[in-house]
Amino acid sequence: MPGEYLGASEEYAAGEGVYEQDGALYAGVAGPLHVDEAKRTIQVGTAVKVHPLAPGDMVLARVYDIYDQIASFLIMRVENQPRERSVVSRDMVFIRIGEIQRAYTENLRDAIKIGDVVRARIVEVTKLGTYISMKDSGLGVIHAYCSNCHNALEGHGPVLQCPECGRREPRRMAGVEPSPAHRESFDRPMGYSQGRGAERRGFGGPRREGSGGPRRESGFRQGGGFRSQR
């Protein structure tokens, strides 16, 4: 199955359908396992063609984590190639705050929330990561969820409302360009501050007291559901 540990890269070389991460080999697709002891290679056979993500690909992705200047997403599907499976390391992509919309974005958390599903375009693929953009017309959030009770929000944006708890939240919805008039027409959580103090955590591992790094929100588990805020 995708993500399943197959062995150490010191023992085998990664073949088709297998990727290497931190010295370990993992299945990138679902299919039968083939081990060539003579060539010391491992591959996962599949009837689905495997290809890397490339600039221009249109994807559906779920917001996984949000930091001050960047957010991470888990790829759900490649829209322009629905019958093919794109394989990247952990299927994780990122968006910079400047790629949210054509207008200036002051706060990522006023555009997307953990668990939202977005339509975006791949703009850059590097060794350090794959980056997406929501600037173009028709791109942005297509499914939004209440950050209070996690129910689906209703409305067309840029401010949506939860039918369960009544909370109003902003989003950078697909096909909707927010205006300054809507900036204060939604609910702020208790203790909200535009400043960058409070909790901070870097990309590489657990938070340590006194350590630097960008602020993050609670995460979204790949298996479904929200992680509790920490």
Query: Do residues 18 and 69 both lie within one domain?
Result: no
160 found inside a domain: yes
Query: Do residues 66 and 178 both lie within one domain?
Result: yes
Burial 36-53 (b: 16+ CB within 10 A, else e): eeeeebbbbebeeebeeb
Does residue 199 carry a pLDDT above 80? no
Average pLDDT estimate for 14-33: 84
Does residue 168 carry a pLDDT above 80? yes
Query: Do residues 40 and 80 both lie within one domain?
Result: no
188 found inside a domain: no
194 found inside a domain: no
Q: Which CATH number is 71's domain given? A: 2.40.50.140
Average pLDDT estimate for 56-66: 92
Average model confidence (pLDDT) for the chain? 76
197 found inside a domain: no
CB atoms within 10 A of CB 178: 21
Query: Do residues 21 and 81 both lie within one domain?
Result: no
| Rounded percentage of the chain residues whose pLDDT exceeds 90 | 33
Domain extent, residue 19, equals 5-47
Q: CB under 8 Å, gap of 24 or more: what pairs does 164-170 form?
A: 169/113, 169/144, 170/110, 170/111
219 found inside a domain: no
**Position 19 confidence tier, pLDDT thresholds 50, 70, 90:** confident
CA angle 54, 5, 44 (to 5 degrees): 60
200 found inside a domain: no
Query: Do residues 155 and 42 both lie within one domain?
Result: no
Residue 95 has phi, psi (to 5 degrees) of -130, 135
Q: What is the rounded distance in angstroms from the CA atom of residue 170 to the CA atom of residue 156?
A: 10
Does residue 50 carry a pLDDT above 70? no
Query: Do residues 14 and 98 both lie within one domain?
Result: no
The answer to whether residues 41 and 11 touch, using CB atoms and an 8 Å cutoff, is: no
Query: Do residues 39 and 75 both lie within one domain?
Result: no
Query: Do residues 63 and 36 both lie within one domain?
Result: no
**Position 132 confidence tier, pLDDT thresholds 50, 70, 90:** very high
Query: Do residues 67 and 167 both lie within one domain?
Result: yes
CA angle 87, 95, 26 (to 5 degrees): 25
Considering its fold, how many domains does the chain have in total? 2
Please state, in angstroms and as integers, the Cα–Cα distance from residue 203 to each residue in 34, 68, 71, 154, following that order: 34, 12, 11, 32
Q: What is the rounded distance in angstroms from the CA atom of residue 230 to the CA atom of residue 218?
A: 7
Q: First and final CA of the chain: distance in angstroms?
A: 30
Q: Which CATH number is 25's domain given? A: 2.40.50.100
Query: Do residues 93 and 148 both lie within one domain?
Result: yes
Predicted pLDDT at 166? 92
207 found inside a domain: no
Average pLDDT estimate for 155-172: 90
Residue 140 DSSP SS3: strand
Lowest mean pLDDT among 36-45, 85-94, 210-219: 210-219
Q: Which residue has the tokens 């929501």?
A: 134
Cis peptide before 158, with omega less than 30 degrees from 0?
yes
Predicted pLDDT at 119? 95
Q: What is the rounded distance in angstroms from the CA atom of residue 159 to the CA atom of residue 36?
A: 56
Q: What is the rounded distance in angstroms from the CA atom of residue 189 to the CA atom of residue 168?
A: 11
Predicted pLDDT at 195? 42
